[in-house]
Structure 1
Amino acid sequence: MVVPVISRKRGVYLNLTEPTMAAMSVNTKMLNVLQKLNLQQAFPNFEREKITPDIVCRLSTHEMEILGVSSGIDGFSRLITFLKCTGNNTSRTVLDCFFSGVAKYGIPNKVRSDKGLEYVSVANYILIQKGPNTMVTGKSTHNQRIERLWRDVYEGVLSYFYNLFYFKENEGYLDPLKLTNLAALHFVFMDEINRKLQFWAEAWAGHRLRTVNSSPLSLWTSGQLQNARQELSEGKGKQYGAGL
């Protein structure tokens, strides 16, 4: 998703002589979203989509120094279930982000992601909880819901920090090869990024989706009620108990 300033394989610093062109290339890729597909899900929580691109990041020779963003979105309502900036993208960190969404919205029936190793713990968890065929993996470009979300998140929040970090690096204020610089970057900016991400996610939940003329939060709420009515009509009401 971004042009790294460090090569992971060789650990060589890339001298970007034309940073503006590099930024334009990134923006072009971010805006190059596939055409919308007709992939309406049956109910909320039917399929949770997630992926973790390192949009706001500076790669170093140490994997732990990545500043990345993790997100989950409900496939039916487009409600964001979690959106968080973290200091790394290890499997455990992604699982913790996933659990924050589970705590608020429950365990999804299915999860979709790409084939990155950072999703191994999430895959193990969902397969244990929901059984086989509940973890769908594939190319991130085929995950249309999350691709569209990341375009909007980048434009609404992350592009500011991305351009700011590039500016600081080009002016010599930030050296991505120095661990002290990266630690300071995390300390100063991570909370602010998360604050803006949370504010943006709350606004997203209440904004009207043009195709359905309703907000993600409204779709989620009505879908949960519809799920409950269907389960009761199918004779599954015993698990809810009886109120007299």
Structure 2
Amino acid sequence: MRKAHRLKRRFYCAKGPNNIWHLDGYDKFKPFGFCIHGAVDGFSRKVIWLEVSDTNNDPKLIAIYYLDALKRIKKTPRILRCDAGTENSVVCLLQQFFRNEATDHFAGSRSVIVGRSTSNQRIERWWGTLRQQGIQWWINFFKDLRDSGRFNELDQIHCENLKFCFMNLTQTHLDRIAQQWNVHEIRPQHNSDAHYGKPDIMYFLPETFGAFDYGTVVDKRDVTCCKDMYSVPKRKFDKFSELAYLPPSSKVEWLNNFAISLEKSYLEEKECIVIGDFNYDILKHDNCSKSWLDLMQSVNFSQLVESPTRPDLQMPVDADSALNLFLELNDLVANSYED
């Protein structure tokens, strides 16, 4: 039938910037604990946001992406296109709230279009672009860590360490991809009436392309109020705040400085795990060992590792051995939690 020209392909075409935003989550990273979420403007194909966190299932987290975009752009789109997942429940209500007093046909509840994720054309197409722009490298990298046995996706300690080491780095990479995409030249497409050019120029200067901005101006106070009521801040992976070195000749001075750091973490209610070789022989019960134990008890710390992590004292401490020791310590900590 296609050869007989009885089937006609439907072409997508948005009227102008902020006429419709397409948002969705990208799950190819999910097996490693990294969940990417993005939104794309239907007219200009400009990336509105591109964020990575440890979940895409929290409606309040998706809401913060949306509200941060409104605060930055100072407008809400005429239509929001998403799937029927529960993670979009809050953002749909917020979109209807900001469009409640609009006078056009898409005011209020009509400002949200919910449908199958595979039919969300603009964002689904852009996920392919994201993979081509370098996210596939990260997927292969994490797969290599898993296949080589250095990362166990069923081990919570391994997963948290992976997020700590790579979450912020991945976000920086995503920011760079979005920035480069928004200023690159989109070429004309065959058999398509879609506009072409640079996404940023099409978005901010729609008059150049015979279009105009369909966005609805939002009150900054309303955005701030909604952020306080219906969103949660994006989780920060900054539990490991410092690397401390203990010189053999200055145990007392070092212990005082270390106590200040622990007290700060304790008062800020940050989760903290102390890992290292502190050269305190707690079996001798001397002043230094007693001070160390008193400090640990004052911040409610308990000992998790009770067996030697490096029984061979002659083992060379090079990079590979340090990595193996680190992974072995992860297993010991995990087993201690289970016990």
Q: Shared topology, TM-score over 0.5?
A: yes
* 1:40 aligned partner: 13
* 1:137 aligned partner: 114
What secondary structure is seen at the aligned counterpart in 1 of 2:65?
Answer: helix
Q: How does 1:64-213 map to 2 (within 5 A)?
A: 66-89=33-56, 90-105=58-73, 106-130=75-99, 131-211=108-188, 212-213=195-196
Give the partner amino acid of 2:50: L
Distance in 2 of aligned mates of 1:146 and 1:220 = 16
Give the partner amino acid of 2:46: L
Give the partner amino acid of 2:212: N
Could you tell me how far 1:224 is from its partner in structure 2?
Answer: 7.0
Deviations 1:9-63 (Å, cap 9, x if unpaired)?
xxxxxxxxxxxxxxxxxxxxxxxxxxx852211111010000012221226xxxx
Judge conservation of contact 1:52–1:70 (CA < 8 Å) in 2.
Answer: yes
Deviations 1:136-162 (Å, cap 9, x if unpaired)?
111111111111110011221321111
What secondary structure is seen at the aligned counterpart in 2 of 1:227?
Answer: coil
* 1:217 aligned partner: 200
Could you tell me how far 1:80 is from its partner in structure 2?
Answer: 0.4
Q: Which has the larger radius of gyration?
A: 2
Could you tell me how far 1:114 is from its partner in structure 2?
Answer: 1.2
Deviations 1:161-220 (Å, cap 9, x if unpaired)?
111111111111111111111111111111111111111111101111112441111100
Distance 1:53 1:180, change over 3 A: same
* 2:299 aligned partner: none
Query: Aligned-residue CA RMSD in angstroms?
Result: 2.0
Give the partner amino acid of 2:171: N
Judge conservation of contact 1:72–1:101 (CA < 8 Å) in 2.
Answer: no
Structure 1 segments unaligned to the other structure (5+ residues):
1-35, 60-65, 232-244
TM value normalised by structure 2: 0.53
Judge conservation of contact 1:91–1:118 (CA < 8 Å) in 2.
Answer: yes
Judge conservation of contact 1:79–1:217 (CA < 8 Å) in 2.
Answer: yes
Structure 2 segments unaligned to the other structure (5+ residues):
1-8, 100-107, 189-194, 216-339
Distance in 2 of aligned mates of 1:218 and 1:176 = 43
Deviations 1:49-103 (Å, cap 9, x if unpaired)?
00012221226xxxxxx32001000011100000011111111111111222222
TM value normalised by structure 1: 0.72
Judge conservation of contact 1:157–1:197 (CA < 8 Å) in 2.
Answer: no
Distance 1:147 1:100, change over 3 A: same
* 2:272 aligned partner: none
Distance in 1 of aligned mates of 2:186 and 2:10 = 15
What secondary structure is seen at the aligned counterpart in 2 of 1:157?
Answer: helix
Judge conservation of contact 1:83–1:197 (CA < 8 Å) in 2.
Answer: yes
Identity of aligned residues (%): 22
Distance 1:204 1:123, change over 3 A: same
Give the partner amino acid of 1:91: P
